[in-house]
A and B are shown apart, each in its own frame.
Chain A
Amino acid sequence: MEALTITGVTKGFGGPRPALSDLSFTLAAGQFGVLLGPSGAGKSTALNVVAGLLTPDAGEVTLGGSSLHDVPPERRDIAMVFENYALYPHYSVRKNLEFPLKAPVRRGKLTKAQIAERVRQVADTLRIGHLLDRLPSQLSGGQRQRVSLGRALVRRPRLLLLDEPITHLDAKLRHEMRTELKRIQRELGVTTLYATPDQGDALALADVVVVLDSGRAHQIGSAQDVYERPADVTVARFLGDPRMNLLQGTGSAGSVSVLGTTVELPGAPDGPVLLGVRPNHVRFSAEPVDGGAAGRVLLAQTLGYVDVVYVDVAGTTVRAIVPAGTGAHPGTPAWVRVPARHVYLFEPDTGQALRQMEVA
């Protein structure tokens, strides 16, 4: 259980912009941090810098209060689960799990019996006890993932890094593993940093979310923070499924005109603004409503428990979530209303948030 601090880390690979620029954040001991961002955002680069597999151009990583600068990866006592699992294909599952315990840096610290006991424990926790004598090539994707996690956990590392560990599993297994990861992390209390492009992972797992895009941290905060109070348009766009509606509006005298309607927003700036509203807050109606913008249903998708309706309002598509079975058919007229209390405002050029929605 150790705190991880990353200060001003920058890393470039000779491209036009660095893969990671000036990244700083802190994870308290035992916290679960998630690096969230699309592919190419710099998540893996960040993890590799922390692991010591890459040397940052600038900045510092400290673990448990001491700098990791000049500490080679094998002496950092950081464990990592790789996207492709990276099991040792020529070793059985048992040998894969024993491998970190028998490393030169830990020689003589554990007896043979202790090693066997540790392997048994971690195999029990991850329910892979029956697989110990198999080779990695004889395992399914989910099983490999567990072995890979087991290999990382068996030595009780100071820090656990997970690089998109469940991206390649099927949806059902992914949900199971997500729950299990959280449980195991809580049980062991190991400080964890998890990289994923999946906002669902981030919201479900994280104590701290770092939203990365193009190598830059756009926001750092709790899952609730980044979801309810996005710092800018990038974060707002990335979190939430279906994603937030971002509509061009014009502010004047404490109100914003958008979609041909006017939304009363005291304190709204004059001039063009980006107005954000999540699909679940958009009021949809098949009948004309007061203050509603008239449009036409483009498409309706059902998620089972709710439907997502795409409404075309004078060339702008608005996504709205409606109760399942509302029966919006493509081509039928529809009205959408943007409730003032659920509106975000963003500066159109910089994308900075100007106004957050009111949280009840």
Chain B
Amino acid sequence: MGAKGWGRRSVLFLWMLFALFPVYWTLITAFKQQVDIYDGPKFLPFVDFTPTPQAWTTLFGGGGDFLGKFWNSILFSGVSSLLAVVLGGFAAYGLARYRYKYGPYRNDDLSFLIVSQRIMPPIVSVLALYVVFVNLRLLDTAAGMILAYTAMNLPLTVYLLRTFFEAIPVEVEHAAALDGYPRSQRLLRIVFPLAAPGLAAAFLLSFFFAWNDFLFALMLTFNNAQTLPLYITSLNAQSQPLWWLISAVGLVALIPPAIVTVVLDRFMSRQVLIGGMR
């Protein structure tokens, strides 16, 4: 290894320290007591302060509703992302492979129409959504939240997946047809695996959006269907943030997106795809 290699490594090492510090800080804060937090910065457990599992027993030790919120977050994010990818996938495949004509609308117009749903800021649509939800009795329900997140994510997945499907040469599907595979089988064995990186990316983006959403949860839930971001803001006592609890929840909230990313990253980096298509 030359000097250049070591130089690169030390730069990367410094960057890693920089990037990981917030996580470290959150981690030690989750084991601090109130006095350790407000009594000036303390960096090293067992040296600066004595770690205590107080925050964790509060979260997982019965009585609290943390687990319920956590489950809500997982359920809403997971199901709505899955729906957005499946429904968006069908829409995108249609837009990529067929020519539509609805009045003056052609494929590109339809695509734009779908994406345009995301042009206005969510704060605008959420007000209207609130009224709709009140009338349909969807406020503070799991179904309502899944519906809202799916609707919010669909334009994105359609837009993203259309380009992925268009990149698959139609001849590959034709070849499968002539090889004796009916349409459903062609989708399952050829189109789906070839579009896997796109499907994974679309799922990830949808999942992150739903997982990190605050606004929708704020407006459309109040108790049963609350999610983690909202739960975190409720962790106050006499307008004093309960930092140790917030940190503990924050750490747990990191885990599902991290798992999803690690799992789906394997699909996204499948680079065998480009070669051999033409």
- B-contacting residues of A (Cβ < 8 Å)? 48, 51-53, 72-80, 82-90, 99-100, 103-106, 135-139, 144, 151, 155
Contact = CB atoms under 8 A, between A and B. Distances in A.
B178 interface: yes
Given A89-B172, A155-B179, 17 more contacts: A51-B174, A52-B177, A72-B182, A74-B178, A74-B179, A74-B181, A75-B180, A80-B174, A80-B178, A82-B174, A84-B169, A86-B174, A89-B194, A89-B275, A90-B273, A135-B276, A151-B179
Contact of A104 (B174, B175, B182, B193): B182
A155 to B, nearest CB: 8
Given A89-B277, A136-B275, A104 B171 contact: no
Contact of A105 (B180, B194, B270, B275): B180
A291 B174 CA distance: 59
A74 B179 CA distance: 6
14 contacts: A51-B174, A73-B178, A74-B179, A80-B174, A85-B278, A89-B172, A89-B276, A90-B193, A104-B181, A106-B180, A136-B277, A137-B275, A144-B276, A151-B179
Interface string B78-91: 00000000000000
A86 B277 CA distance: 6
A136 B169 CA distance: 14
B272 interface: yes
A32 to B, nearest CB: 19
A90 B272 CA distance: 7
Most B Cβ at <10 Å: residue of A48, A74, A138: A74
A100 B179 contact: yes
A122 to B, nearest CB: 14
Most A Cβ at <10 Å: residue of B169, B180, B190, B274: B180
Contacts of B270: 90
Contacts of B273: 89-90
Contacts of A76: 178
Nearest to B196: A90
B185 interface: yes
A10 to B, nearest CB: 20
A85 B182 CA distance: 20
A74 B180 CA distance: 4
B276 A53 contact: no
Interface in B185-234: 185, 190, 193-194
Contacts of B276: 85, 87-89, 135-137, 139, 144
Nearest to A78: B178
Nearest to A93: B276
B182 A74 contact: yes
Given A86-B171, A88-B172, A138 B182 contact: no
Nearest to B185: A104
B275 A135 contact: yes
Given A84-B169, A89-B194, A73 B177 contact: yes
Interface of B: 169, 171-172, 174-182, 185, 190, 193-194, 270, 272-278
Contacts of A75: 180
B193 A51 contact: no
A48 B175 CA distance: 11
Contacts of A78: 178
Nearest to B182: A74
A53 B175 contact: no
A188 B172 CA distance: 25
A86 B275 CA distance: 11
Contact of A84 (B185, B272, B278): B278
Contacts of B194: 89-90
A89 B272 contact: yes
A75 B193 CA distance: 24
B180 A53 contact: no
Nearest to B171: A86
Contact of B178 (A79, A84, A135, A137): A79
A275 B176 CA distance: 49
A52 B169 CA distance: 18
Contacts of B193: 90
Nearest to B177: A73
A55 B160 CA distance: 31
A85 B185 CA distance: 20
A137 B179 contact: no
Contacts of A106: 180
B177 A53 contact: yes
Nearest to B276: A136
A104 B180 contact: yes
Contacts of A72: 177, 182
Most A Cβ at <10 Å: residue of B171, B174, B175, B275: B175
Most B Cβ at <10 Å: residue of A75, A82, A139: A82
A260 B76 CA distance: 89
Given A80-B175, A88-B190, A90-B193, A137 B274 contact: yes
Contacts of B190: 88
Contacts of B179: 74, 79, 99-100, 103, 151, 155
